[in-house]
Structures are given as structure tokens and as C-alpha cells.
Amino acid sequence: MFADTDFLLALVKESDWLKEKAEEILSLNKERITTSISVMLEVAIICRRLGISITPTFSQICGLIGVDEFTRTICLKAAILMERYELNIFDAFHAAYCGSDIMISSDAVYDKLGIKRIELEKGS
């Protein structure tokens, strides 16, 4: 079973009009429910909009449903980068995916993370 954003948010928000049904579905299917990084990106965007802390939200989601180790690692690393370096959501996920690879980007934000970068500016 694949969990979309509204299901996950209903589970982690204190109150949500879908919370009761989401909890019922979770209790009957916990071991069979998974999600994707694209859903987690959407969760992060909504959390930012609502002023909800992303790292604990990602941790809670990863504890509630089946999230593979790669997805868990990328999401939690991105959440930490967002908080520690005040990165925007997409830059944080790009940096988390990049890991120790070289980033090809004109965005200097990656430099402060210690990510080696090939600059796109003319003459670079």
C-alpha cells in the first residue's frame, strides 16, 4: 500500500479531519504501508507552510510506516540540513542525494556544506 501526503499528515498532525480514519487504516495495515521521497518532499513543503518542525515529522513518519533505509537516510539528512544551514527544501534534498559526489551547480549554497562543486558561471 502506498501512502500519499494527506494520509501521513493526518497521522502526524495533532488534529486533522482525516486523523481518525488514517489511524484506523494504519492500525490494520501498518506493515504494508510505504511511501516515497516525492511524498516526503511534499510533506516538508506543507510542514514549512504550517510551521511544523520537519525533522521530528520525518522521524515520526519513518517510525509509523515502512520507509526503506535509503529514503529514510536521505529524508533525515535533508531535514537536518534544512535546520542546521537554513537551506530551502529542494537544496537540502539535492545535497542529501549528492552525498560525497561532486555537485554541478551555480548555487554557492553547497559550498558551505563542504560539497565539492563544479561552477556553471562563465570562465569557471
What per-residue confidence (pLDDT) applies to 121? 75
What per-residue confidence (pLDDT) applies to 115? 96
At 87, is the pLDDT very low, low, confident or very high (cuts 50, 70, 90)? Answer: very high
- Enumerate the H helices of the chain as residue ranges: 5-12, 19-29, 37-50, 54-64, 69-85, 89-98
User: How many Cβ atoms sit within 10 Å of the Cβ of residue 114?
Assistant: 8
Q: What is the mean pLDDT of residues 50-62?
A: 95
Q: Where are the domains of the chain?
A: 5-99
What per-residue confidence (pLDDT) applies to 122? 66
Global pTM value: 0.88
